[in-house]
Amino acid sequence: MQTHFSSEQFLLQGTPFYYYDIALLDATLAEIKRCIESDAHWHVHYAVKANANPTILSHIAHAELGADCVSGGEIEAAIAAGIPASRIVYAGVGKSDWEIEIGLKHNISCFNVESVEELQVINELATRRNIVARVAFRINPNVDAHTHEKITTGLSENKFGIDMCDMEEAIYLAQSLSHVEYIGLHFHIGSQILDNEPFRQLCLRINELQERLEKSNIYTPNINVGGGLGINYEDPDAESIPNFESYFRTFREALQLREGQQLHFELGRSIVAQCGSLISRVLYIKKGHTKQFLILDASMTELVRPAMYGAFHKVQRISIENETTVLEKKDSIYDVVGPVCESSDVFVKNYSLPSCERGDLIAIRSAGAYGESMASTYNLRPLPSSLLG
């Protein structure tokens, strides 16, 4: 499925703004549904941090996905969008008391607990409410996701999760506490993972851990394998829907589930990245001595991924014009930059585009995940608006 930009529709909207191709989002959700239809014990939770735009969340709620939240605010946003608390899981190394209270108040399906210290606090707060909180432990599986160092989370030296060798002790502690119930294991190895091998390694590690737990007579009703499936940033139209089929097949083949066990996934980027583009206008074309700068009205405050992770996004000129003028336009090489007072406010360097003019519309592609949700008001810039197509 290719995203078509109707730039006539865009002319009325002040730039920069996020454009979401909702037909593509729905097609992506339908593909996920198709892939897991035959597995009644499989559940997909959308990782809300990837994009919490209310319209996007409501489409996801409509597709009957659950939500994977990492803050009290996300739990409330998921519930407001119509995702039932019974499908909400909550992870995070530093859950504040008020955030845990939100989870308890709504009786969410599971707290993914990252330390025994946190477990004690959840037990304490649940005791005060006289309820029992369901908990899973996030275990650090020490699997290398072979992804960017800033988005790898499953290696031992990482702040996330509980070390594998402390797993039994944490479970025994949960079993000894009156107001928490141990219901599962949780894992998340990283993000933008394009090769299924790390996921297979994760499955093998889970199989090992399960055998270990069985020797200690510990039954684990839920296994949560996290998210992390990557997308094609280089050529979004060639692969607008990620290969969910082969991703899910990896788990079907490598993970040994026990009788009655439920399997949970937490996908974020792969669901929403390709449906979003950041639409911007060319402000100036500044000619340096050795370079040309294409200065946009969009910046790192709308889309921080290039500045923060060195991430690549395809940049496209989408202005309307008749075909002959397009053919006449030769390509030029630009550094595509934003107006913010930071040298890192660069979208892409030495990039070839049809020659641009002031006022041209530019689409920065694959920006549906970790784009709008990471926007800031640095330089007192307004938060970006969005347009749904």
Ligand X SMILES: *Cc1c(COP(=O)(O)O)cnc(C)c1O
Question: Which parts of this chain interact with ligand X (CB under 6 A)?
Answer: 47, 49-50, 68, 70, 91, 188, 191, 226-229, 266-270
- Residue closer to ligand X (CB basis): 48 or 298: 48
Q: Compute the least distance from the CB of residue 244 to ligand X, in Å.
A: 12
The residue type of 307 is A
Least gap, CB of 270 to ligand X (angstroms): 6
Measured from the CB atom, the residue of 50 and 56 that comes closer to ligand X is 50
State the first-to-last Cα distance of the chain, in angstroms, to the nearest integer.
Answer: 14
3-state helix, strand, coil in the chain (%, to 5): 35, 25, 40
What are the CB-based long-range contacts (under 8 Å, 24+) for 379-386?
A: 379/299, 379/301, 379/340, 379/341, 381/299, 381/301, 381/302, 381/340, 384/16, 384/17, 384/18, 384/278, 384/298, 384/302, 385/13, 385/14, 385/17, 385/18, 386/17, 386/18, 386/19, 386/20, 386/53, 386/55
| Least CB distance to ligand X at residue 287 (A) | 39
Could you tell me if 28 and 292 are in contact, meaning their C-beta atoms sit under 8 angstroms apart?
no
Q: Which is nearer to ligand X, 269 or 381 (CB)?
A: 269
Nearer to ligand X, 272 or 340 (CB): 272
153: Cβ contacts below 8 Å, ≥ 6 apart:
145, 160, 161, 188, 189, 190, 191
Shortest distance, CB of residue 284 to ligand X, whole angstroms? Answer: 35
With tokens 């319209």, the residue in question is 55
How far apart are CB 327 and ligand X at their closest, in Å?
40
**Residue for token digits 């949970």?**
264
Question: Three-state SS for 94?
Answer: coil
Cβ nearer to ligand X, comparing 268 with 338: 268
Nearer to ligand X, 42 or 351 (CB): 42
Report the nearest approach of ligand X to the CB of residue 114 (Å): 9
For the CB of residue 27, give the shortest distance to ligand X in the complex, in Å.
18
Of 303 and 356, nearer to ligand X (C-beta) is 303
| Unique residue bearing structure tokens 């097609």 | 27
